[in-house]
Structure 1
Amino acid sequence: MNFALILFVLCVATGILWGLDKAVFAKQRPAGAPDPWWVEYGASFFPVIIVVFTLRSFVVEPFRIPSGSMIPTLLVGDFILVNKFTYGIRLPVLNTKVVEMNSPQRGDVMVFRYPADPTVDYIKRVVGLPGDKIVYQNKRLTINGVEVPVKAQDDYLHKDRAYYSKRFQETLGEVEHSILNDRDARADVPMALDFPGRENCVYNHEGVRCEVPAGHYFMLGDNRDQSADSRVWGFVPDANIVGKAFFVWFHADAIVPPKGIDFGRIGSFR
């Protein structure tokens, strides 16, 4: 569902009603007469909708984490905020960049429109920048010939399924974060799609090697063996970028409170 388009249509419709009421119909109503229903339920919502639309389009947008691909950084049920202007200002609905600002950096957690279906939003970590040579072989990451440093941590317990994953601290640029690997998971990528730029990748029984095309990014989930990411569906074009995730503002395993609410997750992000 294209929520930005829905908000835009509502802005236009209620804005027209609001403008007509202010310019024409309000002047024709007798003093003290109640507003007609179309003003009360239409035009009166215009100021609220335009504020929500502006904030969501240009400042910050909320998202809910639906899958475990970013565990342990982000958990299923986390509600996060995404900065919409970090990587440049884009026109809503059209998603056209009109103001250049910062570029994504290795280690950023980024929300983007899934290349295979742009109506769906994904969240992963930026690993490869345009022109980078990415090697993910035997569950070890190398960028431009340099192996990304990792340090073993305590195993991570998945409470929902009661099993452990190997946990490591990985350093991408200036960003330190935790990643998971499963002992019994295979290293190769058996379900890789036929994506644009696939000729830039070489697959084997140990994993994958890719060169990131210009204007694209290579994304990985922190839960490495349980993430469908650029290894599977390819590179993320700059045009698909939504924004940079930066804050967990709520967490609920279940929508109905108070079951599943974890206030300790609020503010946690790395």
Structure 2
Amino acid sequence: MTEKKPKSSLRENIEAILIAIIIAMFIRTFIVQAFKIPSGSMLETLQIGDQILVNKFIYGVKIPFTGGKTLIRVKDPQKGDIIVFIYPVDPTKDFIKRVIATGGDTLEIINKKLYVNDKLIKNQPYAIYKSTELIPGNFGPRDNLRKIKVPDNKLFVMGDNRDNSLDSRFWGFVDLKAVRGKALIVYWSWNKDRLVPMWNSVRWNRIGHILR
């Protein structure tokens, strides 16, 4: 009977690294993923330089390379959810916006006032309007949008910075299959405009901030 040859330390280290990579890829693909906020379209909810964790499981486990086919669906995105999704205009980019209306809802904007299912939407403390200018509907959809109906399995999304957000008002609906997940928490925040001294560039008060 021959004795089993012990593994070399190099082989053990390589195996440990490979296992760690596989676990990390599994978590990133199916459970949680990190994203960085590059623009101010979600101010003041999200700051430029915020780094967030996104729950990829809550809206269903999507099978890679199947065009968004969902294996396990926990629930669909709800009004008010902050979601990360594949940008319909450029699939190589991810966008983050807030869900305003879901499939079957009607939506209309009149002089910056939002109506969903013919009801004026109030009590949205996250919605910020910084411009007093009103753009007529025939010049653009930012402040005035004719009544539309959201198709089934689609979402209408907007940024919280309502006067400065490229969203569904301009490029249309988000397909449920394009949704990557729901924004959960800010785990790190970096103000690139305050790099010296370095510790002043970290927004310590935002670390651990739960997103709503």
Q: TM-score, normalised by structure 1?
A: 0.68
Letter in 2 for 1:251: S
In structure 1, the partner of 2:54 is 82
Q: Is the 8 A contact 1:87 1:103 kept in 2?
A: yes
In structure 2, the partner of 1:212 is 150
**Helix, strand or coil for the counterpart of 2:48?**
coil
User: Which blocks of at least 5 consecutive residues in structure 1 are unaligned?
Assistant: 1-26, 151-169, 171-176, 193-202
TM-aligned CA distance change 1:81 to 1:253, over 3 Å: same
Q: Aligned match of 1:106 in 79, 94, 116?
A: 79
Letter in 1 for 2:75: N
In structure 1, the partner of 2:135 is 187
Q: Give identity over the alignment, percent.
A: 36
**Helix, strand or coil for the counterpart of 1:53?**
helix
**Helix, strand or coil for the counterpart of 1:209?**
strand
Q: CA–CA distance in 1 between the matches of 2:77 and 2:143?
A: 30
TM-aligned CA distance change 1:261 to 1:93, over 3 Å: farther
Letter in 1 for 2:127: I
1:135 aligns with 2:114: no
Q: Aligned match of 1:54 in 8, 26, 29?
A: 26
In structure 1, the partner of 2:201 is 260
Q: Is the 8 A contact 2:109 2:143 kept in 1?
A: no
**Helix, strand or coil for the counterpart of 2:95?**
strand
User: Which blocks of at least 5 consecutive residues in structure 2 are unaligned?
Assistant: none
Q: Deviations over 1:160-193 (max 9, x none)?
A: xxxxxxxxxx1xxxxxx4211123444346787x
TM-aligned CA distance change 1:263 to 1:131, over 3 Å: same
In structure 1, the partner of 2:45 is 73
Q: Aligned match of 1:91 in 47, 63, 74?
A: 63
TM-aligned CA distance change 1:124 to 1:32, over 3 Å: closer
1 or 2, which has the higher helix percentage? 1
Q: Is the 8 A contact 2:58 2:73 kept in 1?
A: no
Q: CA–CA distance in 2 between the matches of 1:190 and 1:258?
A: 48
TM-aligned CA distance change 1:264 to 1:113, over 3 Å: same
Q: Aligned match of 1:229 in 167, 170, 177?
A: 167
TM-fit CA distance, 1:57: 1.1
Q: Deviations over 1:90-137 (max 9, x none)?
A: 113433211122011100000100011122100000001001101112
How many residues are paired up? 204
Letter in 2 for 1:260: S
Q: CA–CA distance in 1 between the matches of 2:136 and 2:177?
A: 29
Q: CA–CA distance in 2 between the matches of 1:190 and 1:252?
A: 40
Letter in 1 for 2:130: D
Q: TM-score, normalised by structure 2?
A: 0.85
TM-aligned CA distance change 1:230 to 1:185, over 3 Å: same
Q: Aligned match of 1:178 in 112, 115, 126?
A: 126
